[in-house]
Chain A
Amino acid sequence: MFDNLSDKLNSAFKKLKGRGTLTEKNIEEGLKQVRMALLEADVNYRVAKKVISDIKERALGQEVMDSLTPGQQVIKIVFDEFTRMMGDSHKGLNLEGRKPAAVMLVGLQGSGKTTTAGKLGLYLRKKGKKPFLVPVDVYRPAAIDQLKKIGKQLDLPVFPSTTDMEPLAICEQAVAMGREKGYDTLILDTAGRLHVDEALMAELQGIRKGVHPSEILLVADAMTGQDAVNIAGSFDETVGLDGIVLTKMDGDARGGAALSIKAVTGKPLKFIGMGEKSTDLEPFHPERMASRILGMGDTLSFIEKA
């Protein structure tokens, strides 16, 4: 396991004493280590391949800065490239347009949608909004109860869905009720579904056409492996995503899936889930994510000094 990529890189570059230029030959070993680190962190195989070749292109011919070892220089290049790939720092939610606006949460089973619905409700209320939680999951046992309980805990209104209602009908009625009661932001908690489940993906398309959500967010688990590209790609293609929420970041997952998802969809990572409590939602920081994937923790401080 690569607990510390910078140590690995530094040892890979030991032969390259002092200053000099990065050449195809002398960075090869270092890039091999970077590639391994990416794959260990669950960055998708093909994404890693592309990243490595991009990095190589950028690195070749660069003069090694006085203040850095060649290993550190490569890390800096890698880190910069990652941060760039992760996108701009925190983007909030776009809730312009028709009122009430709707935020639709989609994703695989168990990724954290219902929990995130509660978190976003709390977040929006703090921003002065009037959120309305809408249980759209009529399939999973007790899914509606779950959101109702969360609403009760947070003292947020919840649409009274029942399991015999159609998901689209729930959304449409919730829009009407929201308008009537003066709730300005609906949070649609949809059922977990596999990206290959055509019927259920069509259901999401139907909701999209029916209520035109301002934000469709993919809720993805930070522990996701290689399949992240297929999942995110399919949801984006069939439903169309506006952003990503990465959950369960409070664990020790390196979160390479974030890079894969970003590479495949190009959509901004907006929030990260940092726990099970409703307050455990944080804005996304590209640099933190980059150093986490690289497994470098705070060893990056030398880069900031450089």
Chain B
Amino acid sequence: MGIFNSLKKGLTKTREILLTDINDLFSPERAIDDDLLEELEEILVMSDLGMDITMEIMEKISKKAKKLKTADELKSILKEELKSLFPQTTSTETETASPVPRVIMVVGVNGTGKTTTLGKLAVKLTGQGQKVLIAAADTFRAAAVEQLQIWANRAQVKMVKHREGADPAAVAFDAVEASMARGIDTLLIDTAGRLHTQKNLMEELKKIKRSVGKRLPGAPHEVLMVLDATTGQNALSQAKLFNDAVGITALALTKLDGTAKGGVVASVAKTMDVPLKYIGVGEGMEDLQDFDATLFVNALFD
């Protein structure tokens, strides 16, 4: 099975991202009229793409639509438009120039799937032969550490923790030190969920980042923001404020196994110019996939 087919197979659960009904809409015979354009608008809005992008796409498409005869032809234009929303990523970049230890800090608002995504990532990286360490820097939420410990066990990796209520920046600092001492390839730092509007908690997050950098200049090498596909336009505000505080370098989109399309991630990726790297499609260990915009949009339309 070629890479493309395997990707497509992996996507069967998530084919729905952005565009479930698009193929029904674009039956080859269908004429391009106002009805079709309205249906298209509905699909785009219902995918949580947001009004700015929806209107931008609609405007472009309405213009081009005059020159096109059938709905089928519109499809490739739409495909290009959607693809162009995602910044280009160089997927091998991480592998080649990896600093050791590579430190990834996972951030996001409450309940989006940070701990789960981190756990899946630990499973994935250990599967690739990496030596992984986990830092339990959510010292706030009840049983957050216990939850993470179960994931550490699943991935068969060690976890650095302090007692409940401890300073998360100190946990992160110790974990970096441990990673350096133990020859760890990747350190994954779990942080507590926090709403982007809570200034003191965002300060706390900055402090975690600073303490990581203090122990290991250049770290964290990745600040992975986890977004929930069920979230609507608020994701834009989340991403903006997290980015202002700690500088997001990558996105993960979870819960795509539901019916939400998660389209807002396209607006986030576009406005913040950060790549969407992972998608979550379930609660199991294997339910994390790499995201690639070109392959992804192509696979959707095949």
Contacts and interface: CB of A to CB of B under 8 A. Distances in A.
Interface of A: 36, 39-42, 44-46, 108-112, 114, 139-143, 145-150, 153, 194-196, 221, 223-227, 230-231, 248, 250-254, 256-257, 276
Contacts of B237: 252-253
Looking at B111, B228, B264, which has the most chain A CB atoms within 10 Å of its CB? B111
Contact of A39 (B51, B147, B230): B51
Contact of B46 (A36, A194, A226, A256): A226
B96 interface: no
17 contacts: A39-B45, A110-B228, A111-B111, A140-B147, A142-B143, A145-B142, A149-B142, A195-B258, A195-B259, A223-B232, A224-B232, A225-B48, A226-B47, A226-B48, A227-B258, A227-B260, A252-B234
B259 A253 contact: no
A142 B230 contact: no
B141 interface: yes
A245 to B, nearest CB: 14
B146 interface: yes
A251 B231 contact: no
Contact of A227 (B195, B198, B261): B261
Interface of B: 42, 45-48, 50-51, 109-113, 140-144, 146-147, 149-151, 195-198, 228, 230-235, 237-238, 255, 257-261, 264, 283
Contact of B143 (A41, A110, A146): A146
B255 A109 contact: yes
A76 B10 CA distance: 50
Looking at B45, B48, B234, which has the most chain A CB atoms within 10 Å of its CB? B234
Contacts of A111: 111
A203 to B, nearest CB: 15
A224 B48 CA distance: 10
Contacts of B150: 141-142
Nearest to A256: B232
Looking at A143, A150, A276, which has the most chain B CB atoms within 10 Å of its CB? A276
Nearest to B196: A251
Nearest to B140: A276
Interface residues of chain B: helix, strand, loop or mixed (majority)? loop
Nearest to B42: A45
Nearest to A229: B46
B283 A140 contact: yes
Contact of A194 (B47, B258, B261): B258
Contacts of B45: 39, 45, 226
A224 B113 CA distance: 15
Nearest to A224: B230
Contact of A112 (B111, B142, B147, B233): B111
Contact of A253 (B146, B234, B260): B234
A227 B230 contact: yes
Given A39-B51, A110-B255, A142-B143, 7 more contacts: A36-B51, A108-B230, A110-B112, A110-B228, A196-B259, A248-B110, A252-B237
